Amino acid sequence: MASTASGATESRTPLLSIKNLCIRFGGVLALDNVNLDISPGRIVGLIGPNGAGKTTMFNCISRLYQPTSGRIEFAGEDLTTSTPQRIARLGIGRTFQNVASFDELSVLDNVRIGAHTRSTGNIVSDMLSLPNARRQERSIDETAYKFIDYLGLADVAHSTISSLSLGTRKRVEIARALAMSPRLLMLDEPAGGLTHSEVAELGRLFVKIRDDWQITILLVEHHMQLVMSVSDEVTVLNFGKNLAHGTPSQIRSNPDVIHAYLGRS
Partner 1 sequence: MNIRTLSLIILGIALVLVPFVLKGYLVFQATTIVIYAIAIMGLNILTGLNGQIALGHGAFFAMGAYLMAITLNVWELPFYVGFPIAGVACFVFGFLFGFPALRLEGVYLALATFTLAVAVPPVLKLSFLEPVTGGVMGTLVPAPTTPFGLPLGQDQWMYLLTLLFLFLMYGMAQALKSSRSGRAMMAIRDNPIAARAMGINVALYKTLAFGLSALYAGIAGCLSALVIQFISADSFTFFLSVYLIVGLVVGGAAWFPGALIGGAYIVLVPNLVETFSPPLAGSFYGLLLMVMMLIIPKGASGLIEKFFPRRPSASDTSRPAPREDGGDGPVTIGRPGR
User: Can you tell me which of 1, 12, 69, 208 binds partner 1, judged by CB under 8 A?
Assistant: 208
Q: Residue 127 Cβ, how far from partner 1 at the closest point, in Å?
A: 4
- 231 φ, ψ (degrees, to nearest 5): -80, 145
User: Can you tell me which of 194, 228, 236, 257 binds partner 1, judged by CB under 8 A?
Assistant: 194
| Pairing verdict, β 92-94 and 184-188 | parallel
- Using the rule CB under 8 A, is 259 a contact of partner 1? no
**Total residue count of the chain as it appears in this document:** 265
- Using the rule CB under 8 A, is 82 a contact of partner 1? no
- Using the rule CB under 8 A, is 32 a contact of partner 1? no
Using the minimum distance from each CB to partner 1, give the nearer residue, 42 or 176. Answer: 176
- Cα distance between residue 233 and residue 42, in whole Å: 8
- Using the rule CB under 8 A, is 74 a contact of partner 1? no
Amino acid at 53: G
User: Can you tell me which of 42, 54, 112, 223 binds partner 1, judged by CB under 8 A?
Assistant: 112
- Cα distance between residue 173 and residue 163, in whole Å: 15
- Cα distance between residue 17 and residue 148, in whole Å: 31
Nearest to 92 by CA among 69, 49, 61, 52: 61
Question: What x/- string results for residues 217 through 256 when contact with partner 1 is judged by CB under 8 A?
Answer: ----------------------------------------
- The DSSP-derived string for 104-173 is TSBHHHHHHHHTGGGS---HHHHHTT-HHHHHHHHHHHHHHHHHHHHTT-GGGTTSBGGGS-HHHHHHHH
User: Can you tell me which of 13, 20, 165, 250 binds partner 1, judged by CB under 8 A?
Assistant: 165
Stretch touching partner 1 by CB under 8 A, among 31-39, 82-90, 220-228, 237-245: 82-90
- Using the rule CB under 8 A, is 171 a contact of partner 1? yes
Count of beta carbons in the 10 Å neighbourhood of residue 37: 17
Binding site for partner 1 (CB under 8 A): 62, 64, 84-85, 87-89, 94, 96, 100-105, 109, 112-114, 116-117, 119, 121-123, 126-129, 133, 136-138, 140-142, 145, 149-156, 158-159, 163-165, 167-168, 170-171, 176, 180, 194-195, 198, 201-202, 204-205, 208
